[in-house]
Amino acid sequence: MTLPSDTSARALTAAVRSGQLRAVEVARHFAPLADAASRAPEQSGVAASLAERALERAVELDKSGVSGGGAHSFELLGLPVAVKDLFTIEGVDCTMGSARLSFRASETSEPVAKLLARGAVPTCTTHTSEVGMTAYTEPIDLPAPRNPYFGAKSPAGNDPALTPPLTPGGSSGGSAVAVATGVVPVALGSDGGGSIRVPAACCGLVGLKPSHDITHGHLSTPAFLTRSLSDAALLAGVPFPSSDGPASVGQSAPGNRQRTSRPLRIGVTVEPFHAEVGVDKRWANGVWAAADALANAGYEVVEVPGPYDAEGPDAFEIFRRTITRLAARLPEADYSQMVRWIRESGRAIGAEEAARTHAQRMELPGRIRRRWDVDAVITPTLAFDPPRIGHFSSLKPWEDFEEQTRWTPWLSLWNLTGWASLSVPVGARASAESTAGSAHSTTPTMPATSINIGAVRCGEAELLRVARDCWEV
Asked whether residue 4 is assigned to any structural domain, the reply reads no
* DSSP code of residue 413: H
Asked if 445 contacts 420 with a C-beta cutoff of 8 angstroms, the reply is no
Backbone angles phi, psi at 31, to 5 degrees: -60, -45
* DSSP code of residue 160: G
Question: Which one from 49, 84, 175, 441 is the annotated catalytic residue?
Answer: 84
| Confidence (pLDDT) at 248 | 74
Q: How far apart are CA 421 and CA 247, in angstroms?
A: 16
Question: Which one from 129, 171, 211, 421 is the annotated catalytic residue?
Answer: 171
| Confidence (pLDDT) at 472 | 59
Digits of tens for pLDDT over the chain (473 positions)? 567 778 899 999 999 999 999 999 999 999 999 999 999 999 999 999 999 999 999 999 999 877 665 545 699 999 999 999 999 999 999 999 999 999 999 999 999 999 999 999 999 999 999 999 999 999 999 999 999 999 755 455 555 555 789 999 999 999 999 999 999 999 999 999 999 999 999 999 999 999 999 999 999 999 999 999 999 999 999 998 766 677 776 534 444 444 446 789 999 999 999 999 999 999 999 999 999 999 999 999 999 999 999 888 999 999 999 999 999 999 999 999 999 999 999 999 999 999 999 999 999 999 999 999 999 999 999 999 999 999 999 999 999 999 999 999 999 999 999 999 999 999 854 333 333 333 333 344 568 999 999 999 999 999 999 999 987 55
Asked whether residue 415 is assigned to any structural domain, the reply reads yes
Q: Which of 230, 241, 259, 379 has its CA nearest to residue 297?
A: 241
What sign does the CA torsion over 428, 433, 436, 442 have? negative
Asked whether residue 406 is assigned to any structural domain, the reply reads yes
Asked if 198 contacts 414 with a C-beta cutoff of 8 angstroms, the reply is no
* Cα Rg of the chain (Å, integer): 21
Neighbours of 25 (CB within 10 A): 16
| Confidence (pLDDT) at 249 | 65
171 counts as catalytic: yes
Q: Which of 291, 84, 96 has its CA nearest to residue 188?
A: 84
Please give the tally of structural domains in the chain.
1
The total number of residues shown for the chain amounts to: 473
Q: How far apart are CA 69 and CA 214, in angstroms?
A: 39
| Confidence (pLDDT) at 6 | 80
What CATH number does the domain containing 13 carry? 3.90.1300.10
DSSP for 374-441, please give it: SSEEEEES-SS---BTTTTTTS-HHHHHHHHHHHSSSTHHHHHH---EEEEEESS---HHHHHS-TTP
Pairing of strands 93-94, 80-84: unpaired
Q: How far apart are CA 78 and CA 27, in angstroms?
A: 8
Pairing of strands 206-209, 221-226: antiparallel
| Confidence (pLDDT) at 438 | 33
DSSP for 208-255, please give it: EE-----TT----EEEEEESSHHHHHHHHT-PPP-SSS--EE-TTSTT
Q: Is 169 left (phi over 0), alpha (psi -120 to 50) or beta?
A: left
Pairing of strands 46-49, 121-126: antiparallel
Q: How far apart are CA 348 and CA 176, in angstroms?
A: 34
Looking at the DSSP bridge assignments, the partners of residue 422 are 208, 453
H/E segment holding residue 124? strand 121-126
How confident is the model over 329-388, as pLDDT tens digits?
999 999 999 999 999 999 999 999 999 999 999 999 999 999 999 999 999 999 999 999
195 counts as catalytic: yes
Using alpha carbons, list the distances in angstroms from residue 17 to 63, 81, 261, 321: 14, 17, 36, 46
Q: How far apart are CA 214 and CA 417, in angstroms?
A: 7
252 counts as catalytic: no
Determine the angle formed by the axes of helices 315-327 and 351-371, rounding to 10 degrees. 140
Using alpha carbons, list the distances in angstroms from residue 96 to 35, 292, 334: 20, 42, 12
Question: Which one from 195, 336, 393, 434 is the annotated catalytic residue?
Answer: 195
> In 3-state terms, what secondary structure has residue 2?
coil
Its domain, for residue 170, covers 9-469
| Confidence (pLDDT) at 454 | 98
Using alpha carbons, list the distances in angstroms from residue 67 to 80, 89, 233, 381: 15, 24, 21, 39
Asked if 283 contacts 343 with a C-beta cutoff of 8 angstroms, the reply is no
* DSSP code of residue 447: -
CA angle 95, 178, 31 (to 5 degrees): 85
| Confidence (pLDDT) at 164 | 85
Q: How far apart are CA 58 and CA 56, in angstroms?
A: 5
Asked if 190 contacts 137 with a C-beta cutoff of 8 angstroms, the reply is no
